[in-house]
Chains A and B, each alone.
Chain A
Amino acid sequence: MTEPAIRATDLVREFKKGPRAVDGIDLRVEPGEVYGFLGPNGAGKSTTVHMLTTLLPPTSGSAQVAGHDVLKEGAEVRAAIGAALQEAALDPFLTGREHMKLQTALHGMRGHEARKRSDELLARVGLTQAADRRVGGYSGGMKRRLDLALALVHRPRILFLDEPTTGLDPQSRTALWDEVGRLAADRGVTVFLTTQYLEEADVLADRVGIIHRGRIVAEGTPEALKADIGRPSVEAIPAEREDLPRMKDVLARFGESVTGSPKGASVRLSGGDAQLAEVVRALDAEDIRVEHLQLHAPTLDDVFLSKTGRSLEGQAEEPREPAEAVVA
């Protein structure tokens, strides 16, 4: 069995004022894998990343990254990883090229090697033309791309991306997904990606770990996790608004209610998609005209809901993880 790129055993992080931000996490990420860490705000994603990237010591438990212990061999871990954390972490008074110059110098590159690497990465993330402009004038997408380029300067074997597309427009998000996919597929880089976006985990990740209140509540490939739920859901919107209560009563006969459009009713079909015809007949029998009817395959949100009793999508913001790294 190959040595994992990332391994965590019963990882815990406590802060002085608050519950355990990370409450006993076990992780194993194989080399070359894209691992998606999915959960709402305050679930413990960023705290986990900070521990795995040596920026925060665990309260208890252990972790090895690239074969090195995060507590005892921090320098070796840092040499093997790149990280684009939750903030874009850029100096608005420096240009993109000056950032690359600084980063290459800090990683011991000089002269021609540094210039070549800078030019290569700037081209790869599409920032060659903007390279000599100050970062303060960059868009959010451009900052994120520069952030990714800086994380790749020293050719890390493992890349940590902490909510890399939060706040980006769809086009920028897709561009970043493409680059992450290329990194993993073409260069065999292991990617540990945290996100609160279902689609991002679904599209990018080979395996997903769903985290809730500091614990992993489900783990597996997106397909396997969804298949575990098994049953599809049906969403119906009545043509007449006043029919909604009756529609909800009819649909309730076919399964438990799930989150859907506020204009309609959604249930998970206890008998699978074969029940769809029965649903239509039942609505017709009650003389309820339907404006919209759709069958949905299970989503990762359904997985999250089944494990936690709450939906990930549209969840109210939970208190963010404490900003101060204060050891308990």
Chain B
Amino acid sequence: MLARRSVVRTLRQPMMVVPSLLFPLIFLSINSSGLDSATRLPGFPTDSYFDFALAISFVQGALFSANSAGTNVASDIESGFLNRLSLTPLRRVALMMGQLAGILALGLIQAVTFLVVGAVFGSGIEAGVAGALVIVAMSLTISLAFGCIGAFVALRSGSGEAVQGVFPLFFAALFLSSLSLPRDLIETDWFRTVATYNPVSYMLEGIRSLVITGWDGEAIALGFACAGGVALIALTAASSALRTRMVRT
């Protein structure tokens, strides 16, 4: 029931859903036309910048999941709804899983939308239908990772404003990655170093490899490992914060 509630309330907020679809597509459209000449760089993995940039949409969409999850959790704290749930026999684990259901529902809508847009504009998924399913799975894992970060911020701070305040940091992490160029083509040393240590790079590269290359086991494994690792850490942190927030005896 909590999962259902999470999904329903997310989908009943158009201002949560629509920007999370539109903004990444607008960004994709601008970048793929403006940066198309980058494909002429020696070593660029594809001659279509659209194919290269499509992966960005999935990760950007996931950042909106962080905002959505965090805002919903903060709203529950500020309104006292969390207190209401605390007074029921509900276990904390069930509460956390319920909250995450909304994130996954939004993540699924995003993933399918971006795949359809990609197909409409001629981006063939090199890894085929099975690869598309793997892209959806990776996208959901990334959504979960960022969603749990958003939930953690909300549970620690109890404030929707704090969640909004953290949102730009996610975009900074996105831009300091292999967002616009493959890592080996980034000329600036410090930028390349940061991108190499940034788990977002591997999330992008995991999805990108399925679109451009096909079945690159290493890229896919690293993508899942980074997304899954961030998800696990963030989920643990969020669960701990929930334990503190729901201080019922």
A interface residues, Cβ below 8 angstroms from B: 53-57, 70-72, 74-75, 78-79, 81-83, 85-91, 93-94, 98, 101-103, 105-108, 134, 150, 323-325
Contact = CB atoms under 8 A, between A and B. Distances in A.
B8 A79 contact: no
A115 B193 CA distance: 59
B81 A107 contact: no
Given A71-B249, A102-B2, 16 more contacts: A53-B87, A54-B248, A78-B248, A83-B87, A85-B83, A88-B80, A89-B81, A89-B83, A94-B5, A94-B9, A98-B8, A103-B88, A106-B88, A106-B90, A107-B89, A150-B84
A248 B35 CA distance: 85
B54 to A, nearest CB: 32
Contacts of B12: 93, 134
B249 A70 contact: yes
B180 interface: no
A16 to B, nearest CB: 14
A307 B196 CA distance: 70
Interface string B209-238: 000000000000000000000000000000
Interface of B: 1-2, 5, 8-9, 12-13, 76, 79-81, 83-90, 158, 247-249
A66 B158 CA distance: 31
B28 to A, nearest CB: 30
Given A91-B81, A98-B5, A108 B89 contact: yes
Contact of B1 (A75, A82, A83, A102): A102
Contacts of A55: 83, 86-87, 247-248
Most chain A CB neighbours (cut-off 10 Å) among B9, B12, B76, B248: B248
Contacts of B13: 93
9 contacts: A54-B249, A55-B247, A70-B249, A78-B88, A85-B83, A91-B76, A102-B1, A102-B2, A108-B89
Contact of A90 (B81, B89, B247): B81
A216 to B, nearest CB: 22
B94 to A, nearest CB: 9
Contacts of B86: 55
Contact of A107 (B5, B76, B88): B88
Contacts of B1: 101-102, 105-106
Given A91-B5, A102-B5, A85 B249 contact: no
Query: Which of A56, A82, A91: most chain B Cβ within 10 A?
Result: A91
Contacts of B79: 87-91
Contact of A91 (B9, B158, B248, B249): B9
Nearest to A136: B12
Contacts of B90: 106
A157 B12 CA distance: 36
Report which residue of B1, B12, B86, B88 has the largest number of chain A beta carbons within 10 angstroms of its beta carbon. B88
Contacts of A324: 158
Contact of A78 (B5, B76, B89, B247): B89
Contacts of B8: 93-94, 98
B171 to A, nearest CB: 27
Contacts of A57: 247, 249
Contacts of A91: 5, 9, 76, 79, 81
Closest A-B pairs by Cβ, 8 of them: A87-B80, A89-B80, A74-B249, A105-B1, A106-B88, A93-B9, A89-B84, A93-B12
A92 to B, nearest CB: 8
A243 to B, nearest CB: 52
Nearest to A77: B249
A79 B1 CA distance: 19
Contacts of B83: 55, 85, 87, 89
Contacts of A75: 89
Nearest to A69: B249
A57 B248 CA distance: 7
Contact of A79 (B76, B89, B247): B89
The residue among A102, A108, A323 with the most chain B CB atoms within 10 A of its own CB is A102
